[in-house]
Chains A and B, each alone.
Chain A
Amino acid sequence: MLVFAATVLVAIVGLGAGARELWAYKTTSGDPGDVAARWPAVRLELDREHATLVMLVHPECTCTMASLTELARVLPELGPVRAYVVVRGGAGDGGGPVERRARALAGVEVVLDVDGELHRAFAAETSGHVVVYDSAGALRFSGGLTLARGELGDSPGARAVRTAVQRWASPATETTQAVFGCPLRGPATGAAP
C-alpha cells in the first residue's frame, strides 16, 4: 500500500512538474533583440523591386526546424520575394540539420554567417527570427513564425509576414511578433560565437 501510494504520489508530482517545465519552455519567447530598422550594410543584396525576407537561425537549434517548416509553408503564398536564411556559424561539410533543412527549401538562399557579422548587423538574438524589409530598406516585420518553441502550425507571425511581403509597396508599417527559439548567443559570455 505504501509503495503504491508513494508511486502514485511521485508520478503525479512528476506529471505536474514536467508539465509545468514543458509549459514554461514552450511558451517563453526569446529575446526580440534590437533589430535594425533599416537594411544594414551587409553583403546580402536588398531586393529593390520586392520585399526581402531574412531568417536568422542557429545551426543546431531543433526549435528552428519548426520555423523553417513554417517558412516553407508561407513562402509560396508570399509571391515575389527575396528570401535568405542566414545560418550563424556555418559548419561546412554540409552543415547541421538546420542548414540542410534550409538548403532544401526552394526559393531560399542559404548564407553562412561564419563570423556572426550578419547576425550582429541585423541584431537578432533568437534563432528563427525573421525580418522583412521593403524595397526601400525599411523594416516591415520582425518576429517569429511559430506559436511556441518548436511548435508547428499557423501563427500570427506567419500571417504578419504574409501581409508585410504582399503589401510591401503600401505605406510602411512595422509589425512585431514574439520569437520562439534557441538564443543565438550564449548566456555566460554574452559574446557572439
Chain B
Amino acid sequence: MTLTRIDALAGRLFDEDVWALRVKSDRLFVRLFAAQWAFAIVLALVLSPWAYAGEVRSVHPHVWTSVVIGGSLFALARAWAVRSPGSAVTRHVIAATQMLFSAVLIHVTGGRIETHFHVFGSLAFVSFYLDWRLLITATLAVAADHLLRGMMWPASVYGVANPEWWRFLEHASWVAFENVVLFLGIQRSLATIRDLAERRAALTEINHVIEQQVAARTSELEASREQYRSLVEGTQAVPWEFDPATNAARYVGPQIEALTGYGPARFEEPGFYVGIIHQDDVVRLLETMQRHVLDGSDFQLELRLNVQDGRVVHVRAIVAVVRRGADTLLRGVTFDITHQKSLEAELRESQKLESLGRMAAGVAHEINTPLQYIGDNIQFLGRATARLLAALKAVDSPRPGADDVMTRDPRIAAIIERLKLGAIESHVPHAIEATQAGLRAVEKIVGTLQHITRTHAVAGDETEVAALVRAAADEARDQWPACTFAADVELDDPRRTAEIDPDRLASVLSGLLRNAAEAAASRGTAGRVHVSVSFHDGAFAIRVRDNGSGVAADSLDRIFDPFFTTKGVGHGRGDGLHHLRDLVAACPGGRLACETTGPEGSTFLVVLRASRSREVAA
C-alpha cells in the first residue's frame, strides 16, 4: 500500500463523488425548473389572469410570458441536463437560466422588491453544484438583467426612479457578499468531500490489501488442501472414515481399488467392508471395534481381506475414534502389509536356517575328529585285513615240501573252510575302499560346512590373481570338458597381488566357474565361459561371463540369499552365491555382484583390492 496509490484513488473517488453530486444537482434543477415554471404560471393566473380593453378581456401577457419564457427556460435546462449530465456546460446553462427565472418572476409580480430575494435563493441553489465558477455566470446573468432593467425602469430594480450612482454598487455588494459566503461554503464542502474520499480511499486500499491477503490465504489453503489430498490419496495407505452405526464407510480413498479391486463406492454400502474381511478375523474386528467405540481410545489392528481376485491380503489399520455430536466415527488409514508378512516369514525361515547352519558347523567341527580316527582306523583295518588274509592264504596253500599244519590238525582246515577266504578276499577290500570313499564324501561336506561358517579373512593375505585365474580356468576345463573355457588376463604386472587368501580366491573362482559352466551347459557343446581380469585404480575386476539363459527377473534380487537356488532338488545346496559373496565381502574392498544378465547370458563381477605392499613396490 503506497501513499501515491491512495492519493490517486482519493482523487478518483473525489472526482466521482463530485460528478455524481453534479449529476444529481442537474436532476434537481430540472425538477426545480418544472416547479418554478408551474409556479410562475400559477402566479400569473392569480395576479394577472386577464388583460382588459374596456370590457373586452384577453389572456394577460404575464400568463403567456410565464408559459413561453418559463417553458423555454425549463426546456433549455432539461435539454442540457439530459444530453450532458454533470458537464460544465450544462451547469453553466442551468445557472444562467435559473437567474433568468428570477427575472421572469420579478416581471410577473410587477417588479415587487420582495421577488428579488429569488435571486439570492437562486444563487444558493446554484452553489449546490459546488463549482464557484457558476457564481460568476449567475452573477453575470443577474447583472445583465439588472443593467437592462435598471436602464429602463430603475425603480423596479432599486426602488426609486433616480437612484444614486452608488446604488448599483450597493446591490452588487450584497450579491458579492452572498457569493463570498457561498464560495467559502463551496470550498468547505469540497474539502469535506475530499477528506471523505481520502478516508474511503484509505479504507478501500485497506480492504483491497485485506482481500488480497484473504485471497492469498485462501489460495494457500486450497493448495495446502490439495497438497494434503494428493498426499493422502497419493500414498499407498488408504484413508477412510467409517460409521459403526450404519456399518458403512463415509469416505474411502481411491487407493482402495488398487488394494482390493473394489471401488470406493462399494464401501459405502452397509456391511460391505465387514463382508470382505477374512472369516477368522471378523469376530476379532467387531469385538475390538466395539470396545474402542465405547472407551474412545485409538487402536491398531491387523486383518486379512479377501480381495476381488481371490487373494488374501494382509492389512494393518490405524484407527482413531472421533466423537462428532452424538455420533461416533472411526477414522484412519489402512496399509497393505502382505509383503511385510512375507518378509517376516522369510526372516523366520532364514533365522531357522541360520540356527541350523550354526548347529551344522558345530556338528561338522565335532565330526571332524572322529572322522579323522575313523579314517585312520579304516586304513589300519584295511592294511591289517590284507596282511591277515595273506597269512591265511599262505596256510591254505602250503608250499610243496613245507610242513602242512592242516594235515597235522584237521580242525584248522575246517575253520579255514568255514571262513571262505575267497569271498573275503574279493569283498573286504571293496568294502574298505567304499567306506573310505564315504568318509571322503563326509569330509568334503564337513569341509563345506566349515567354509560356510568361516567367513572372516586374515589380514596380510595376498594372492597373485593372474596365476590363480589361469589355474582355475584350467581346472574347470578339465572338470567340464563339454564347455569351452577362455581366460583373458590384462595386467601390466602379472605378479600383482590382491588382498585375499589364495584358498579363498580359489573357492570363489571355482564356485563362479562351476555356476557359469552349469549355466552354459544349457547350450550343449556351444556352451562358453569366459573369465577375464583387469586392473584399474588399485582394484582387480574379475569377470566370469557365460552364454547361458541368464537369471530370471523374479529371482535376480534373491540369488544372493542364503540357500536360494534355481536348480532342482538334489542339484545344489543353495549356499553357493551367498557363500561366495560373503567370502569376497570379508576381504578389504571386496565385492561380488551380478553385473549383467539376460537371455544371452550372465556376467558376475568380483572386485578385489590390490595388496598395499605390492602397490608400494610398484
Where the two chains meet, the residues of A that have a C-beta atom closer than 8 Å to any C-beta of B are 4, 7-8, 10-15, 17-19, 21-22, 25-27, 58, 60-63, 65-66, 89, 127, 147-148, 150-156, 158-159, 182-189, 192-193
Q: Given the interface contacts A17-B68, A147-B156, A152-B155, does A183 sit within 8 Å of B52 by beta carbon?
A: yes
Please determine whether A62 and B156 come into contact, CB atoms closer than 8 angstroms: no
B228 in contact (CB, < 8 A): no
- Closest Cβ of chain A: how far from B490's Cβ, in Å? 102
Q: Given the interface contacts A18-B72, A22-B61, does A185 sit within 8 Å of B54 by beta carbon?
A: yes
Please determine whether B75 and A11 come into contact, CB atoms closer than 8 angstroms: yes
B140 in contact (CB, < 8 A): no
User: Can you list 26 pairs linking A and B with CB atoms under 8 Å apart?
Assistant: A11-B72, A11-B73, A18-B64, A18-B65, A22-B61, A22-B65, A27-B152, A60-B57, A61-B51, A62-B49, A89-B55, A127-B52, A147-B152, A147-B155, A150-B111, A151-B153, A153-B153, A153-B157, A154-B162, A158-B161, A182-B51, A183-B52, A185-B53, A185-B54, A186-B54, A187-B56
Q: Given the interface contacts A8-B79, A11-B73, A25-B61, does A153 sit within 8 Å of B156 by beta carbon?
A: yes
Q: Given the interface contacts A15-B73, A154-B161, does A188 sit within 8 Å of B56 by beta carbon?
A: yes
Query: Out of A22, A127, A186, which one reaches B55, CB within 8 Å?
Result: A186
- Closest Cβ of chain B: how far from A81's Cβ, in Å? 21
Residues of the B chain whose Cβ atoms lie less than 8 Å from the Cβ of A13 = 72
Query: Out of B50, B80, B82, which one reaches A62, CB within 8 Å?
Result: B50
- Closest Cβ of chain B: how far from A31's Cβ, in Å? 11
Query: Out of A12, A26, A63, A183, which one reaches B54, CB within 8 Å?
Result: A183
Known: A18-B72, A154-B159, A154-B160. 4 other contacts (CB 8 A): A21-B64, A22-B107, A60-B52, A66-B110
Please determine whether A62 and B48 come into contact, CB atoms closer than 8 angstroms: yes
4 interchain residue pairs of minimum CB distance = A153-B155, A186-B54, A14-B72, A62-B48
Residues of the A chain whose Cβ atoms lie less than 8 Å from the Cβ of B69 = 14-15, 18-19, 22
Q: CA A107 – CA B64 in complex, angstroms?
A: 36
B514 in contact (CB, < 8 A): no
Residues of the B chain whose Cβ atoms lie less than 8 Å from the Cβ of A158 = 161
Where the two chains meet, the residues of B that have a C-beta atom closer than 8 Å to any C-beta of A are 47-57, 60-62, 64-65, 68-69, 71-73, 75-76, 78-80, 82-83, 100, 107, 110-113, 152-162
Please determine whether A7 and B75 come into contact, CB atoms closer than 8 angstroms: yes
Chain B binding surface, main DSSP class? helix
Q: Smallest CB-CB separation from A22: which chain B residue?
A: B65
Residues of the A chain whose Cβ atoms lie less than 8 Å from the Cβ of B53 = 182-183, 185-187
Residue from B52, B56, B111 whose CB has the most chain A CB atoms within 10 Å:
B52
Q: CA A188 – CA B107 in complex, angstroms?
A: 29
Please determine whether B51 and A14 come into contact, CB atoms closer than 8 angstroms: no
Please determine whether A148 and B161 come into contact, CB atoms closer than 8 angstroms: no
Query: Out of A7, A8, A62, A189, which one reaches B47, CB within 8 Å?
Result: A62
Residues of the B chain whose Cβ atoms lie less than 8 Å from the Cβ of A65 = 110
Please determine whether B72 and A151 come into contact, CB atoms closer than 8 angstroms: no
Residues of the A chain whose Cβ atoms lie less than 8 Å from the Cβ of B54 = 58, 183-187, 189, 192-193
- Closest Cβ of chain B: how far from A158's Cβ, in Å? 8
Residues of the B chain whose Cβ atoms lie less than 8 Å from the Cβ of A17 = 68
Q: Given the interface contacts A182-B53, A185-B54, does A21 sit within 8 Å of B65 by beta carbon?
A: yes
Please determine whether B52 and A7 come into contact, CB atoms closer than 8 angstroms: no
Q: CA A115 – CA B107 in complex, angstroms?
A: 34
Q: Smallest CB-CB separation from A157: which chain B residue?
A: B161
Residues of the A chain whose Cβ atoms lie less than 8 Å from the Cβ of B57 = 60
Q: Smallest CB-CB separation from B161: which chain A residue?
A: A154
Q: Given the interface contacts A148-B153, A152-B112, A153-B111, does A10 sit within 8 Å of B68 by beta carbon?
A: no
Q: Given the interface contacts A14-B68, A58-B52, does A155 sit within 8 Å of B161 by beta carbon?
A: yes
- Closest Cβ of chain B: how far from A147's Cβ, in Å? 4
- Closest Cβ of chain B: how far from A14's Cβ, in Å? 3
Q: Smallest CB-CB separation from A5: which chain B residue?
A: B79
- Closest Cβ of chain A: how far from B72's Cβ, in Å? 3
Please determine whether B161 and A147 come into contact, CB atoms closer than 8 angstroms: yes
- Closest Cβ of chain A: how far from B45's Cβ, in Å? 11
Q: Smallest CB-CB separation from B76: which chain A residue?
A: A11
Q: CA A11 – CA B52 in complex, angstroms?
A: 29
- Closest Cβ of chain B: how far from A29's Cβ, in Å? 13
Q: Given the interface contacts A183-B53, A187-B56, does A153 sit within 8 Å of B72 by beta carbon?
A: no
Q: CA A162 – CA B76 in complex, angstroms?
A: 46
Residues of the B chain whose Cβ atoms lie less than 8 Å from the Cβ of A148 = 152-153, 156
Q: Smallest CB-CB separation from B160: which chain A residue?
A: A154
Residues of the A chain whose Cβ atoms lie less than 8 Å from the Cβ of B113 = 152
Q: Smallest CB-CB separation from A23: which chain B residue?
A: B152
Please determine whether A153 and B160 come into contact, CB atoms closer than 8 angstroms: yes
Please determine whether B65 and A12 come into contact, CB atoms closer than 8 angstroms: no
Q: Smallest CB-CB separation from A7: which chain B residue?
A: B79
Q: Smallest CB-CB separation from B163: which chain A residue?
A: A154
Q: CA A61 – CA B57 in complex, angstroms?
A: 9
Q: Smallest CB-CB separation from A69: which chain B residue?
A: B110
Q: Smallest CB-CB separation from B154: which chain A residue?
A: A153
Query: Out of A10, A63, A155, A184, which one reaches B155, CB within 8 Å?
Result: A155
Residues of the B chain whose Cβ atoms lie less than 8 Å from the Cβ of A14 = 68-69, 71-72, 75
- Closest Cβ of chain B: how far from A73's Cβ, in Å? 10
Q: CA A156 – CA B160 in complex, angstroms?
A: 10
Q: CA A10 – CA B53 in complex, angstroms?
A: 31
Residues of the A chain whose Cβ atoms lie less than 8 Å from the Cβ of B62 = 150
Q: CA A189 – CA B596 in complex, angstroms?
A: 142
Residue from A26, A189, A193 whose CB has the most chain B CB atoms within 10 Å:
A26
Residue from B57, B61, B158 whose CB has the most chain A CB atoms within 10 Å:
B61
Please determine whether B56 and A151 come into contact, CB atoms closer than 8 angstroms: no
Q: Given the interface contacts A10-B72, A15-B69, A18-B64, does A4 sit within 8 Å of B110 by beta carbon?
A: no
Q: CA A58 – CA B155 in complex, angstroms?
A: 24
